[in-house]
Amino acid sequence: MTDIFKDKDATELAEMIEYVVTNDNSGSTVGDIRQHLGLTQDEFSELYDLCMPTIRQLNEARFWRSGYSKLESAINLTLSKPMKRLRDKLAAIKDIMKQNSSRALKKERLEEMNAA
């Protein structure tokens, strides 16, 4: 562990972690975060390793939120389209549900993770 962290209490370290997690996807650069916290590259790398479980969890939540949002939009679009028969609308919604099922989303997520 680098010297900067051995002198920090749990509250200070938690605040640093919260700052990194909050600014990870906000458009801030690593340099911006390092400068704000007064960290060297090695210290930042160590701190970022501590942040990774939370960052992964947030990314996972974003993925599922996005999947739900796409499903909701597709269903709303289908419902708003004029169709002569209710059966056609229900069939279209069934197809949307199949394409956006949790099984399909899990497969998509695994493919994304394997590609990285």
pLDDT band for 28, please (50, 70, 90 cuts). Answer: confident
Beta carbons of 14 and 50 less than 8 angstroms apart = no
> In the chain, what are the domain boundaries?
7-115
Residues sharing a CB contact under 8 Å with residue 44, sequence separation 6 or more, in sequence order: 30, 33, 34, 37
**pLDDT tens digits, 34-75:** 999 999 999 999 999 999 999 999 988 999 999 899 999 999
| CA–CA distances in Å: residue 17 to residues 24, 52, 62, 68 | 10, 10, 19, 29
**pLDDT tens digits, 3-15:** 677 778 889 989 9
